[in-house]
Amino acid sequence: MDTEIKGDILNLIEKISPQGRNYVNEAFNNNMVKVFYYNKSIDEHGVFCIVENNDCNIAYFSFLNEPNKEKCKGLIMADMKPFINEVNEKELCFNVYGKNVGAIEFVQSLGFKADMEGYHLFYNRQEAPVISQSELIEKQFEDSMLDHLVELFDKGYFQLNKENGWQTDWYYTNSKVFQAGLQEKVRDNEFRSFWLGNQLIGAYIIDKNYIRDLVVSPGYQNRGYGSIILAHCIKHMIEKKNVQKVCLRITKSNLSAKRLYERNHFEELACFAEHTFISNINTLNEGEIY
């Protein structure tokens, strides 16, 4: 494949996620990518491809100017049929640029379940933020904090998990797994908690250049603590972890969090809609599913 075309395809995949770009790039190097459709013109600029491996198949659909619904249907139908027919052997996923609404609606009509829709954001400044003065005390993780942190994360994410149909007590039911993960984050210097006296106010967890979690106790939200903890996190990543580009991922439904990050100099990097095929219907025929 022409180097320029490959680069453009990867840029289109990055509109879905930076991790997707890296995954497809590696797959290109291993000859594991099938490009079903690619076009770069004034009227249409997009790609539809799939990465095949031993465990799963992952399709990517990303168009800057979304095709109409009939074209989306025509592009996707025939090429996805063999992969849907072998879904009992391999997991089948379909990742769509989050602004391609027609494609999202169509793949869901084929039996793909929406796993998550949302955004990747990035911090648009080079320098670390100035941290406002506060009474918050910053601490590393200690095992004696576990019960407090379990309560913080389950309560902090409760409404979001409920709205998305996700488990609302994951941290309580998986406290040992959570504890082991926090211990690992201590070794990697990727965790901090924040306290007022003996009261846990919030915490953050980092994964490399991503803010994986930033949680504030519900009783202390809308008091400015979120912005203070976020500033601590960014400063830590830039100055202690030498991160060049601070990023995070949030769900589409978490509008309050998106506003918080945008107020603190984050911009949209990518927009995604992730799906997994779950339907028992596995035969496509002349535009209908049976």
**The pTM is what?**
0.88
pLDDT higher at 222 or 47:
47
Give the chain's mean pLDDT.
90
pLDDT, tens only, 87-144:
677 889 999 999 999 999 999 998 899 999 999 999 999 899 988 888 999 999 999 9
Secondary structure (H, E, C), the chain: CCHHHHHHHHHHHHCCCHHHHHHHHHHHHCCCEEEEEEEECCCCEEEEEEEECCCEEEEEEEECCCCCHHHHHHHHHHHHHHHHHCCCCCEEEEEEECCCHHHHHHHHHCCEEEEEEEEEEEECCCCCCCCCCCCCEEECCCHHHHHHHHHHHHHHCHHHHHHCCCCCCHHHHCHHHHHHHHHHHHHCCCEEEEEECCEEEEEEEEECCEEEEEEECHHHCCCCHHHHHHHHHHHHHHHCCCCCCCEEEEECCCHHHHHHHHHCCEEEEEEEEEEEECCCCCCEECCEEC
pLDDT, tens only, 41-56:
988 999 999 999 888 8
pLDDT band, residue 217 (cuts 50/70/90): very high
Does residue 289 register a pLDDT over 70? no
Does residue 11 register a pLDDT over 80? yes
